[in-house]
Amino acid sequence: MKHKVVVRSTLKDIRNFTNIPELRKGVIEEAPETPVNGNFAVNSTANFLHPSVQYLKIKQVAEINRNTRAYIFEPNTARGTAKLAYFRPGQCISITLQVGNAIVTRPYTLCSSPLRSVDDEYMIIVSKKPDGFASQFIVNNWRKGTEITASAPFGNFHYQPLRDSKSIVAVCDYQGISAFLSMAESIADKTLNADLTLIYSARKQNEAIMSQRLDELAETTANFRVIYVFSDEHVFKCERGFVTKSLIEKYAPISKYSLFVCGSNTLYNRIIPQIAELKLENKFIRFGLNGQIDNPENLSDFPPEAIGKTFLCKVIKNGKFSKTVPCSSTESLLVALEREGIETPSLCRSGECGFCRAKLLKGNVFIPSGIDMRRLADSSHGIIHPCCSFPMSDMTLVIN
């Protein structure tokens, strides 16, 4: 550095401080007029950690059961991805799929340890849902060698030492197991310094996918244990019934702990009243992504007069009129746009990340209470998240 400022903690510091504007002016005057196109280390690191897109290839497919597969990805170097971005256990990637004319995205939580991403492997688990448009497509079509387009890892559902207690109690069902499998793997390989007690809820033992791997990890890792809770059958050394306040207290440490919950809507609906009784501080309660709202008409605040109606949405994309799209009041605007083949930015599909933000120029939408995570400034300027907004009138929408 050409001009050094030495701190002496004396009056000379004040004189040096008053000299700074003069020094700065000199540096500015000496600077070249053309922009410096240097390859700065900070930019390379940022690009590596947060690439705008990752091109992946399926390296291996493992059948977990009739409806569930584990997919291991590697970088698709031929398409320009040389290394996989690092992530935190609990984070997701968003996969882009072209199904017929529709271009859709789905977030999937990475279930491997971040350490495996250093060796260029990600793993996700996909279970075919009976009405799951994307999950059925994936399980029926993805094979070894299939090329995938994915986002960088994202999401806040990971251990944050400044906020969370080092002791974590996690509750999940099979739909939320990926986040905690990733945490358990990371505790085992020492990339995560935390203690994890996992309470895994299922109807029957054979529904608790990945239990064999969890048992192996629990046997060899001092600060990870797993407790199974089966509602429909007795299993030796496992709990019988549902996850309740007293069951959580039975296994939670006496001292402070963070409670992480991830799974199906059925699990959330059952567990939320139980959590309220635990009287934990809010910062110690963490929920995974809710996922897309599929039947908003079942929500208590959905306007009943809108059920069964279809509205027209005029879409302006990149400053130009794109298309007028019919939207049912019970499907999110994001789903309607994707179905019509309009490429729309999205990541979490749960109203949380703000990646899908769009401007509602005209018209009304319904946003379920508890899902609206827009900043105050956004909501007062007509910005909506199409992934969790449902049309209530004809409208004009501006997207990127």
Taking CB under 6 A as the rule, which mask of x and - marks residues 348-377 in contact with ligand FES? Answer: xx-xxxxxx---------------------
Taking CB under 6 A as the rule, which mask of x and - marks residues 311-350 in contact with ligand FES? Answer: -----------------------------------xxxx-
Q: Report whether 193 contacts 186 (CB < 8 A).
A: no
Which one, 132 or 354, has the nearer CB to ligand FES? 354
Q: Which parts of 251-270 interact with ligand FES (CB under 6 A)?
A: none
Which amino acid belongs to residue 233?
E
Which one, 185 or 352, has the nearer CB to ligand FES? 352
No. of helices (H) and no. of strands (E), the chain: 10, 19
- Choice from 199, 325, 367, 387 touching ligand FES (CB under 6 A): 387
- What φ, ψ does residue 20 adopt, rounded to 5°? -60, -45
Rounded Cα distance between 260 and 293, Å, is 21
Helix 211-220 with 177-188: angle, nearest 10 deg: 30
Rounded Cα distance between 267 and 265, Å, is 5
Size of the site for ligand FES (CB under 6 A): 12
Work out how close the CB of 378 gets to ligand FES at its nearest, in angstroms, rounded to a whole number. Answer: 11
Which one, 113 or 290, has the nearer CB to ligand FES? 290
Work out how close the CB of 348 gets to ligand FES at its nearest, in angstroms, rounded to a whole number. Answer: 4
Rounded Cα distance between 278 and 187, Å, is 26
Angle at 203 between CA 199 and CA 207, to 5 degrees: 80
Work out how close the CB of 386 gets to ligand FES at its nearest, in angstroms, rounded to a whole number. Answer: 7
Q: Which of 198, 173, 200 is nearest to 183 (CA)?
A: 198
Which amino acid belongs to residue 239?
E
Which one, 57 or 349, has the nearer CB to ligand FES? 349
DSSP letter at 241 equals S
Instruction: Give the HSE-up count for residue 264: Cα atoms under 13 Å, Cβ half-sphere.
Output: 12
Which one, 201 or 290, has the nearer CB to ligand FES? 290
Work out how close the CB of 271 gets to ligand FES at its nearest, in angstroms, rounded to a whole number. Answer: 23
Structure tokens at 296: 């908003």
Taking CB under 6 A as the rule, which mask of x and - marks residues 197-216 in contact with ligand FES? Answer: --------------------
Q: Report whether 72 contacts 84 (CB < 8 A).
A: no
Which one, 85 or 348, has the nearer CB to ligand FES? 348
Which one, 53 or 276, has the nearer CB to ligand FES? 53
- Choice from 88, 116, 286, 385 touching ligand FES (CB under 6 A): 385
Binding site for ligand FES (CB under 6 A): 346-349, 351-356, 385, 387
